[in-house]
Amino acid sequence: MTAIAPRPGAAARPALRSQTRRAPGPPLALRRPVRRALPVPVRRGRARRGPVLRRPLLWRPVRRGPVLRGPVLRGPVRRGSAGLAATGRTPVRRLPALLLLVAGLLGTALSGTASAHSALTGSDPADGAVVATAPQRVTLTFSEQVALGDDGIRVLEPSGKRADSGELRDLCSGPVVRYGVDLRDGLPDGTYTVAWQAVSADSHPISGAFTFSIGEPSATKVVLPRQEAGGGLVGQLYDIGRYVSYAGFTVLAGGSAFVLVCWPRGASVRPVRRLVAYGWVAFTAATLALLMLRGPYTGSGRLGDAFDPGVLQGVLDTRTGAALTSRLLLAGVAALFVAALFGPYARREGPGDRRDLVYGLAAGGTVVAAGIAGTWALSEHASTGVQPALAMPLDVLHLLAVAAWLGGLAALAVALYREPSIERAAVGRFSRLAFGAVAVLAATGLYQSWRQVGSWSALTGTAYGRLLLLKLGLVAVLLGVGWVSRGWTRRLAEPARGASHGADDESRAEESGAEETGAEESGPGTGAGPVPDAGVADPVRAAQLARQRAAVATARRRRVRDADPARAGLRRSVLAETAVVVVLLAVTTALTTTEPGRTQEQVDRAQAVGATAVPDRPVDVTLPFDTGGPDGTGTVRLTLDPGRSGANALRVDVDGTDGRARDVAELKVSFTLDEREIGPLAIALDKDAPGRWTARSARLPLPGDWRIRVTVRTSDIDQTTIDKNVKIG
């Protein structure tokens, strides 16, 4: 039989093995388990054969059983357990869970009572008004279109009983959005409470309450809920779901675009596949949660109503419910797209074989992503306000650009940490893709800012403007870090791809040597013979060998990853960009639930006008006139009761210079609200007596600075027109 010559370094192994022999002492049954450190692979330098003791990662008692000897691990490992190095569980694999946790915390911190695009700008009677007689109707005026249910407006007596008929009336006319309810006859004097709840056209719930008094104020037994619509636990969960759906869509669409456009080989890389799959799961689960929470979010605020079939049916009949349902259906189509991208496309090895699928997947993926983005554009801020026909398609482009940039950035970060052999060309292609996405974001974002803010003062004077400034600051930081990343990209070593292949060959040789070592090494006192076939005789040893190979592969990837300083710098800058992206998405989500600056300024102006008016006493105006003819001088006195927006009683007295009633040939009165381009509204006057006119229905739709114009004609040719501005609440 031919003798096998020992390999180099084999002479040193018996001495090393002799260190692991049992020491003399009590039998094994009476001996306490000895804890031994499991060594980890050397991260830098040339790999050495034999165990290398480093800082221990895992301690466990040594028991009798088969022992695996090799270049990395020594000591028995129980079936189903593995150390950190053996399983390859690095912090990067826990990155999706960490990002989800940060998303939840940011969503909770930035969530609150949802503001909306629509707001209450006026009411009749006004808040706090005291009227002499009961009005026939209570009306509410909004800045934008809203949707109200049958109980959207409730008027409650001081005792708490319903004072309205329960029938909602649509009183909208042109640009004026107004709804009301009729009041019952014979209402007693006292303080009445008006509670209202609506859903704005951009899907956000709004609610409020105010009081007015008939005769004189009184005590009331009405107790209103402290929680506004869209607040509480349901509101926080809904805002978190909104954030997760945005983040999931960004990762899903951006990661897929990164694979198709920048790195086709990434379709066969497990970490990238896992990232896109996590994005799809987060997006789909968040959309389903939003659909279930929509009912209590815009209604009762009770979490249990999310599982009420009746409430869910009501949600499906709304525009937002239809958008969420369409989003769920498109999520199913997106699942088929992901399966094709990481299935048949990944199995095509050559560029020519993949070219057949690239165009089909690119076209189909773009259509699906645009459809998903369209569900947001149809139900959010873009669907209302100024120029919605232009704003909605631009909003779709904005969302797609965000996904391509930020989602692709997340995929690049995972690739740099988990697959160090990513080519320099792939990083360069993503850099160009990100530049194009940023250009689209700049154009569409500038238009959206003008549309939602409207003025420079709203940038600092409203919550929406301040959040927008914060978002712009984060984008500037992101662009700065991105510029640093571009610098690292230009410094990437071109031979890095070949070096990684060389490392692959070296690692395969090391693994082969590890198998031979495990099969050949045995020494006196170990009680172990040749290693049997791992796949047939001893599955425990086979599992140990698999874990050993995983540890060797992990160490190899880390060596390759850390070999290029430019690649390490790029990883750090991309990780910094990803951290900024998490905060940026949270601020963007907060913007979608905040009152736009343009609307907020409009509401503030209406409230300021109401604050300067005197709604609880008549408006009395005296105007002198002179027609230029004989006996053409005198005064016109107008009394508007109660002197607020809505229905008023108008009395006009014309007196001569002697203070007595003066009969004139013709008298005309009109009201104009110049700031809202309303009017002139002509008032039909009834002549009660010489020099005395009345109008029982002088209706002014909005509070504001109204211009009263009076035309007096004293003869066939003598006439004059006088006017004066008055504050109407």
Residue-wise pLDDT tens digits, 636-673: 998 888 877 777 888 999 988 888 888 888 888 988 88
pLDDT-wise least confident of 166-175, 347-356, 401-410, 543-552: 347-356
pLDDT-wise least confident of 100-104, 543-547, 606-610: 100-104
Length of the chain: 729
- Residue 654 φ/ψ, nearest 5 degrees: -110, 120
Residue 536 three-state SS: coil
pLDDT, averaged across the chain: 75
For residue 610, the model assigns a pLDDT of 47
Share of the chain above pLDDT 70, in %: 72
pLDDT single digits (tens) 524-544: 444 444 444 444 458 888 888
Is pLDDT larger for residue 567 or for residue 471? 471
DSSP string, 577-633: HHHHHHHHHHHHHHHHTS--HHHHHHHHHHHHHHHHS-TTS-EEEEEEEE-SSTT-E
For residue 291, the model assigns a pLDDT of 94
> 623: exposed, middle or buried (C-beta count within 10 Å: 0-12, 13-18, 19+)?
middle
Q: Per-residue pLDDT averaged across 481-510, rounded? A: 57
Tokens 């601020």 belong to which residue? Answer: 587
Contacts of 343 (CB under 8 A, 6+ apart): none
pLDDT interval class at 577 (50, 70, 90)? confident
pLDDT at 574 over 80: yes
For residue 528, the model assigns a pLDDT of 41
Of residues 674, 445, 467, the one with CA closest to residue 591: 467
DSSP string, 480-513: HHHHHHHHHHHTS-TTHHHHHHHHHHHHHHHHHH
Distance, CA of 153 to CA of 181 (rounded, Å)? 7
Q: Per-residue pLDDT averaged across 289-317, rounded? A: 88
pLDDT single digits (tens) 224-254: 665 555 667 888 899 899 989 999 999 999 9
pLDDT at 104 over 90: no
pLDDT at 464 over 90: no
For residue 568, the model assigns a pLDDT of 76
Distance, CA of 493 to CA of 181 (rounded, Å)? 74
pLDDT at 115 over 80: no
For residue 403, the model assigns a pLDDT of 93
pLDDT-wise least confident of 1-5, 53-57, 416-420, 637-641: 53-57
pLDDT interval class at 77 (50, 70, 90)? very low
pLDDT interval class at 15 (50, 70, 90)? very low
For residue 411, the model assigns a pLDDT of 92
Distance, CA of 80 to CA of 248 (rounded, Å)? 33
pLDDT interval class at 492 (50, 70, 90)? low
Q: Which residues on adjacent β-strands are paired with residue 142?
A: 120, 177
* End-to-end alpha carbon distance in the chain: 113
The H or E element that residue 125 is part of is none
For residue 367, the model assigns a pLDDT of 95
Distance, CA of 519 to CA of 160 (rounded, Å)? 88
Distance, CA of 275 to CA of 272 (rounded, Å)? 5
Is pLDDT larger for residue 476 or for residue 678? 476
Residue 319 three-state SS: helix
Distance, CA of 617 to CA of 461 (rounded, Å)? 33
- Residue 397 φ/ψ, nearest 5 degrees: -60, -40
For residue 252, the model assigns a pLDDT of 96
For residue 508, the model assigns a pLDDT of 43
Which residues in 373-387 are b (16+ Cβ under 10 Å) and which e?
A: bbbbbbbbbbbbbee
Given a contact cutoff of 8 angstroms between Cβ atoms, the answer to whether 85 and 40 are in contact is: yes
For residue 327, the model assigns a pLDDT of 96
Distance, CA of 96 to CA of 279 (rounded, Å)? 9
Of residues 204, 152, 350, the one with CA closest to residue 265: 350
Is pLDDT larger for residue 623 or for residue 328? 328
Residue 429, token pair as written in the block: 């292609």
Of residues 146, 255, 134, the one with CA closest to residue 200: 146
Ranked by mean pLDDT, the top range of 30-34, 366-370, 648-652, 654-658 is 366-370
Tokens 């009683």 belong to which residue? Answer: 649
Distance, CA of 536 to CA of 176 (rounded, Å)? 82
Given a contact cutoff of 8 angstroms between Cβ atoms, the answer to whether 703 and 610 are in contact is: yes
For residue 591, the model assigns a pLDDT of 79
Is pLDDT larger for residue 632 or for residue 256? 256
> What angle is formed at CA 43 by the lines to CA 41 and CA 47, rounded to 5 degrees?
65
Given a contact cutoff of 8 angstroms between Cβ atoms, the answer to whether 284 and 333 are in contact is: no
For residue 589, the model assigns a pLDDT of 75
**Residue 134 Ramachandran class (φ > 0 left, ψ -120 to 50 alpha, else beta):** beta
Q: Is the C-alpha dihedral spanning 535, 537, 539, 544 positive or negative?
A: negative
